[in-house]
């Protein structure tokens, strides 16, 4: 895993001409392909309805969670508290929205524009405890880059 190399590719994707949705999709595909323990990679975006996240571009298995209120599940908690959430074992989490029995852990990083949450990066893994501080720092940097698209 070469996080620095991947960050450069993400920056190139963001700098190229094109639609935001397509850029976000390319980023999800890149992350899933390049990082072995990233089994589902997607964006949830804040829409017109306050306090609600909507599923954006993703790479991985389809999910029934296309709309998540702030505070609900890991995604909703990360948005509500405006902070990165890492859950190394989702079976031990009481406020968890299950997408698949294969998912064992999750990291969610809010995307901020100024003081406001505008979306988040959500990553599921089929392994228990795969996420490190390097993952957190890497994904928080990607969130900063993605925020420039909004």
| 1, pLDDT greater than 80 | no
What pLDDT does 96 receive? 67
Rounded Cα gap, residues 23 and 21, in angstroms: 5
What pLDDT does 90 receive? 84
- Cβ(53)–Cβ(63) below 8 Å: no
- Cβ(146)–Cβ(14) below 8 Å: yes
What pLDDT does 91 receive? 87
What pLDDT does 102 receive? 85
66-109 pLDDT, tens digit each: 999 999 999 999 999 999 999 999 888 776 677 777 889 999 99
Full strand arrangement of the beta sheet holding 52-59: 67-69, 52-59, 40-46, 116-125, 105-113, 85-87
pTM, entire model: 0.94
What pLDDT does 50 receive? 87
Residue ranges and CATH numbers for the domains of the chain are: 3-147 (3.30.450.40)
The separation between CA 9 and the C-alpha centre of its own chain, rounded to angstroms, equals 17
| 142, pLDDT greater than 90 | yes
What pLDDT does 128 receive? 96
What pLDDT does 38 receive? 98
Q: What is the mean pLDDT of the chain?
A: 94
31-71 pLDDT, tens digit each: 999 999 999 999 999 998 889 999 999 999 999 999 999 99
Crossing angle for the helix pair 3-15 and 133-147, nearest 10 degrees? 10
What pLDDT does 133 receive? 96
| 110, pLDDT greater than 90 | yes
């Amino acid at each position: 895993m070469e996080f620095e190399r991947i960050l450069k590719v993400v920056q190139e994707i963001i700098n190229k001409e094109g639609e935001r949705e397509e850029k976000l999709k390319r980023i999800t595909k890149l992350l899933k392909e390049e990082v072995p323990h990233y089994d589902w990679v997607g964006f949830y975006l804040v829409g017109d309805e306050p306090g609600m996240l909507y599923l954006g571009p993703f790479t991985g298995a389809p999910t029934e969670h296309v709309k998540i209120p702030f505070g609900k599940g890991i995604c909703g908690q990360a948005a509500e508290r405006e902070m990165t959430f890492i859950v190394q074992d989702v079976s031990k989490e009481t406020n968890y929205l299950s997408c698949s029995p294969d998912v064992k852990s999750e990291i969610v990083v809010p995307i901020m524009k100024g003081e406001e949450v505008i979306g988040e990066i959500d990553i599921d893994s089929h392994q228990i405890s795969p996420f490190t501080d390097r993952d957190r720092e890497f994904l928080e940097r990607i969130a900063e880059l993605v925020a420039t698209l909004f």
